[in-house]
Amino acid sequence: MRDFNEQTITDAVISQFKAEDPRLQQILTSLVKHLHDFIRDVEPTEEEWFKGIQYLTDVGHMCDENRQEFVLLSDTLGVSILVDAINHRADAGMTETTVLGPFHTPHAKPMTHGAQIASAEELAKGTPTVVRGQVTDPDGKPIAGAKVDVWQASSEGLYDVQMGHGEADLRGIFETDADGKFWFRSIKPVAYPIPFDGPVGKMLVATGRHPYRPAHIHYMISAPGYETLITHVFVSGDEYLDSDAVFAVKDSLVADFVAVEDAEAAKQFGYSAPFYEVEFNFGLKPTA
Amino acid sequence: MRDFNEQTITDAVISQFKAEDPRLQQILTSLVKHLHDFIRDVEPTEEEWFKGIQYLTDVGHMCDENRQEFVLLSDTLGVSILVDAINHRADAGMTETTVLGPFHTPHAKPMTHGAQIASAEELAKGTPTVVRGQVTDPDGKPIAGAKVDVWQASSEGLYDVQMGHGEADLRGIFETDADGKFWFRSIKPVAYPIPFDGPVGKMLVATGRHPYRPAHIHYMISAPGYETLITHVFVSGDEYLDSDAVFAVKDSLVADFVAVEDAEAAKQFGYSAPFYEVEFNFGLKPTA
């Protein structure tokens, strides 16, 4: 096993893999084939190859407990949404999925219906909003007791973990009632850039791409007997719906955030007019 | 630009790239095509995808100024030797190239012919060896004044940068004489494992591969008017010549290290018998 040329090296490497786990064997075999095909296609100079090594190293060094630059790279190269599409081939009555993103945390607190998920500081800076939803099975039958984990960015486009104060903010966990319903108060989400002060941001600049994501609220909804639904609800009319930096928009996930001018209505939520209202219904997929 | 499916996502991502640098545009376009093909081929679960993200993150975190885990990953997946093969299509009279490896440093000192490149401590632990070489053009014409940068592992299979003492050892820089020749004293190289205490080692274990490289001396040889030659000279008879963990062995680079029993001969090198002698001639490729 020596003297490989540009073609024979691929089978030589694959022949060395003798994984006990057949799935690992399959994944590495496919990885080496596609990786070598990529190299043969672009024929990198040694300087280009080393730039690639350095780029991956920089991406790795950017990762810490609050920042997952490889997830951002996967997102911005369309890999995350492709993996999502492969794993969630949705049928009628089931809500389409989209990317998890890097900002879900286990720190959201259980809250009661109508709770305000924004801190007083973030609420004061944002546009008051009332969010309602219902969780059903594919036939429209309500699912009671579903766990609805929500999170979103601030009016400045930052998630709590990016603010550096260590407090959970703009996230919460709700449980659906007997009608499968839940509601909470928050602020209207705004479009924001993904973190672009690292290697992924450099890639976006070098390729003439903007880092913006259209405004959205994240949902992770789980209930016994159903697959966990990870999705967003996007704000209709957002200027970035057709150029999301992570390719995650689906028409079925875009909802109208309706302005309410009624002062009396606002008052019952502790808001002053105008405020926004949005409603979205979620269909869960039964587990196989 | 929304509502992508498993097939349309690839062109959607590529259509977003508008790099000013046409080479970058070409490389990223090819990368996304091959990366998405790989994903569609193996259809990773979300858990597998995240394991991949975590693996790349671990590789990145293993990298520091003395350790380049992404180079090791590239080496053990046969990518480095493929890039080498693409960039150095050797013709008659030119020495074949092989991988640089992660242990070249800029700390080697210029030395005079016959110098001992091993420290007293490493010499005492190793097998004394005399190394000779000649550098020529493809027609066999000697190249005087070529810079010959050599480095190798200790008798325990460690490069100086792995020993942690911060001193250059088992490396040196020589200049060829009027006949294109150089020589130095050292120890006989031994087979050694690539660093396997990190993510790359885990991959090798999981796939039933050993981490060993057959014994070799590294050379980087440069001269005005010629391409820099990066190669190894391997020790004939080594048990790992046919299963090099980084796929870098070429028959033309294997040399006999000849045992010399003559006590008088040993004495002239400050050695006691037996010691080893090896000679290898290098043909450089003229720059285009």
What pLDDT, in 10s, does the model give residues A7-26?
A: 999 999 999 999 999 999 99
**pLDDT digit string (tens) for A70-123?**
999 999 999 999 999 999 887 889 999 999 988 999 989 999 999 999 999 999
- Give the helix, strand, coil percentages of chain B, each rounded to 5: 30, 25, 45
Surface-to-core class of residue B25, CB atoms within 10 Å of its CB (0-12 exposed, 13-18 middle, 19+ buried): middle
The per-residue pLDDT for B89 is: 84
What backbone torsions phi and psi does residue A124 show, to the nearest 5 degrees? Answer: -60, -30
Residue of A38, A39, A207 with shortest CB distance to B17: A207
Tell me the two tokens of residue A61.
């060094």
Average pLDDT (A178-184) is 98
Assess whether pLDDT exceeds 90 at residue A165.
Answer: no
**pLDDT digit string (tens) for B55-90?**
999 999 999 987 899 999 999 999 999 999 999 887
Instruction: Determine contact: B170 vs chain A, CB below 8 A.
Output: no
Instruction: Determine contact: A220 vs chain B, CB below 8 A.
Output: no
**pLDDT digit string (tens) for A213-266?**
999 999 999 999 999 999 999 999 999 999 999 999 999 999 999 999 999 999
C-alpha span between B48 and B93 (Å, rounded): 48
C-alpha span between A22 and B210 (Å, rounded): 19
Q: Per the CB < 8 Å rule, is A42 touching B49?
A: no
Instruction: Determine contact: B158 vs chain A, CB below 8 A.
Output: no
Say how far residue A113 (Cα) sits from the centre of its chain: 24
Residue of A71, A77, A84 with shortest CB distance to B53: A71
Average pLDDT, chain A: 95
Q: Per the CB < 8 Å rule, is B49 touching A83?
A: yes
**pLDDT digit string (tens) for B139-160?**
999 999 999 999 999 999 999 9
Average pLDDT (B155-174) is 93
- What residues in B contact A38, CB-CB < 8 Å? 30-31, 34-35
The per-residue pLDDT for B1 is: 64
Largest CA distance in chain B: 82
Average pLDDT (A55-80) is 95
Long-range contacts (CB closer than 8 Å, 24 or more residues apart) made by A175-179: A175/A110, A175/A145, A175/A146, A175/A147, A175/A148, A176/A134, A176/A135, A176/A142, A176/A143, A176/A144, A176/A145, A176/A146, A176/A148, A176/A223, A177/A113, A177/A144, A178/A142, A178/A144, A179/A134, A179/A142, A179/A144
Q: Report how many Cβ contacts below 8 Å link chain A to chain B.
A: 224
Tell me the two tokens of residue A190.
């705004």
Assess whether pLDDT exceeds 70 at residue B100.
Answer: yes
Cβ proximity of A183 and A113 under 8 Å: yes
Domain A90-193+207-283: CATH class, spelled out: mainly beta
Domain ranges of chain A: 1-43, 90-193+207-283
pLDDT class for B92, splitting at 50, 70, 90?
confident
**pLDDT digit string (tens) for B224-250?**
999 999 999 999 999 999 999 999 999
The domain defined by B91-194+208-283 folds into Protocatechuate 3,4-Dioxygenase, subunit A (2.60.130)
Tell whether omega for the bond before A224 is within 30 degrees of 0, i.e. cis.
no
Assess whether pLDDT exceeds 90 at residue B91.
Answer: no
String of DSSP letters for B98-156? ----S---TTPPB--TT-B-S-HHHHHHS-EEEEEEEEE-TTS-B-TT-EEEEE---TT
Surface-to-core class of residue B105, CB atoms within 10 Å of its CB (0-12 exposed, 13-18 middle, 19+ buried): middle
For testing contact with chain B, the best of A46, A203, A220, A236 (most B CBs within 10 A): A46
C-alpha span between B172 and B113 (Å, rounded): 11
The per-residue pLDDT for A3 is: 83
Q: Note the pTM of the prediction, 2 decimals.
A: 0.89
- Please give the sequence-ordered ranges of beta strands (E in DSSP) within chain A, or none if there are none: 128-136, 147-151, 171-175, 181-187, 192-193, 212-213, 216-222, 229-235, 254-255, 258-260, 275-283
Assess whether pLDDT exceeds 90 at residue A129.
Answer: yes
Q: Per the CB < 8 Å rule, is B57 touching A68?
A: yes
The per-residue pLDDT for A1 is: 65
C-alpha span between B199 and B77 (Å, rounded): 13
